[in-house]
Structure 1
Amino acid sequence: MTQADLATPLRIERIGRDDMSLRALATLRMTVFRGWPYLYDGSLDYEAGYLSDFLSDETAVLVVARLGDIPVGMATASPMATQGDAVKAPFLAAGIDVRSLFYFGESVLLPQFRGLGVGHRFFDEREAAARSAGATGATFCAVDRDRDHPARPSETRDLTPFWTSRGYRMAPHLAMTMRWKEVGQPEESDHLMRFWLKSL
């Protein structure tokens, strides 16, 4: 599918946090993250609160892809210095100045709209925002799953080539553990997250 195949073209734009209901975006985030590789079983109230906190800094950015008025994808970024201790800890331990970095949060898109260049636009907009805020580097983290994980779909896209094509490299010495409840599991469990870095 291409953009030309859509009856209504996708609009991708950077918006203010008050321009759209955070609950609508929280629902989108939960929907996409429920699939592989996160298998995340979250709550709407938690997600809306998370987004509100993440976007509280005046230099934070929210990029939304919409089909008409319906959000089908979103991406966020904000200064690393404003993140929680768990996110900053690996960088501080490595002697990296977190004030020089922008942290890219989620980049989520409904499956039927993938392959249309939206992911590149999400990175373009967030990198531009990071540079405007004076950051000299960008980073994000991704869950590290076993190749033989029983929930891995038989056909799943490896995003490594996409990330490396954007200039990001995994930093093996930078990792953290995050806890969340997986679909079908009774309680939260630990998940290894690895960071990727790029100089801007």
Structure 2
Amino acid sequence: MSALSFTTKKGSEIASVFDELARLRIAVFRDFPYLYEGSVAYEKAYLKTYSQSERSFLFAVYSGDEMVGATTAIPLRDETDDIRRPFTQTSADIDRIFYFGESILLPAFRGLGLGHRFFDEREAHARSFGTFRTTCFCAVERDENHPAKPLDYRPNDLFWQKRGYAKQDALRSTLDWPDIGESVSTPKTMVYWMRDL
């Protein structure tokens, strides 16, 4: 394993690593619970949301020349309608909320404390503006008895709780993607987690 290195990109700079980030997202999100049958074209279209926001953020981990981990963040105001909708349907001030996108690591690089580093970096970025009061992210909900669930699967709930995040059962959205082996996208329920900065 090569020594790890780290890079930060903001706003339009993120476009320079679209291909790497798309491949990494597809590789990691194939695993349960996402079971995502991704395509680079779809990924790059989605990632444009981040390159078009002046205050978006990417923190990436490299082993040699390979991106092996990455995490993103963006003001909720700049996210897609599907992500914003649970908040715009309430009295929430979305201009005070920073949304955290993916936190993805290849399996060989897990257990090194990088998950905490991802949260530290994103929270620091959100705080740097002085106007955001809350951070949030969403995670897919799968049936407890889903046939693709590995026997040794452990959800990230405890880790997120230790970071100060609380599950918001009343805040849910629906995102569509094809499961592995499928060509048609189907709706997936996403539940939000939040904490005050």
Question: Structure 2 length normalisation: TM-score?
Answer: 0.94
- Show the counterpart of 2:7: 13
CA distance in 2, matches of 1:60, 1:120: 19
Secondary structure at the counterpart of residue 139 of structure 2: strand
- Show the counterpart of 1:141: 138
Q: Is residue 55–residue 62 contact of structure 1 (8 Å, CA) maintained in 2?
A: no
| Unaligned segments of structure 1, at least 5 residues | 1-5
Corresponding position: 1:64 with 2:64: no
1:101-116, aligned counterparts within 5 Å? 101-116=97-112
Corresponding position: 1:128 with 2:129: no
Q: Is residue 60–residue 79 contact of structure 1 (8 Å, CA) maintained in 2?
A: yes
For residue 44 of structure 1, what is the amino acid of its counterpart?
V
* RMSD of aligned Cα (Å): 1.4
For residue 188 of structure 2, what is the amino acid of its counterpart?
H
Seen in structure 2, the aligned counterparts of structure 1 residues 96 and 181 have a Cα distance that, compared at 3 Å, is: same
- Show the counterpart of 2:147: 150
Deviations 1:37-65 (CA, angstroms, capped at 9, x unpaired):
10001210111121122232111100001
Moved more, 85-94 or 139-148: 85-94
CA distance in 1, matches of 2:4, 2:19: 21
User: Hey, which bits of structure 1, 4+ residues long, moved more than 4 A?
Assistant: none
| Unaligned segments of structure 2, at least 5 residues | none
Deviations 1:51-87 (CA, angstroms, capped at 9, x unpaired):
1222321111000011122100110000000112221
Question: Structure 1 length normalisation: TM-score?
Answer: 0.92
- Show the counterpart of 1:3: none
Corresponding position: 1:83 with 2:79: yes
For residue 14 of structure 1, what is the amino acid of its counterpart?
T
CA distance in 2, matches of 1:47, 1:86: 16
Aligned-residue identity in percent: 42
CA distance in 2, matches of 1:124, 1:103: 14
CA distance in 2, matches of 1:46, 1:52: 10
For residue 168 of structure 1, what is the amino acid of its counterpart?
Y
Per-residue deviation at 1:12?
2.9
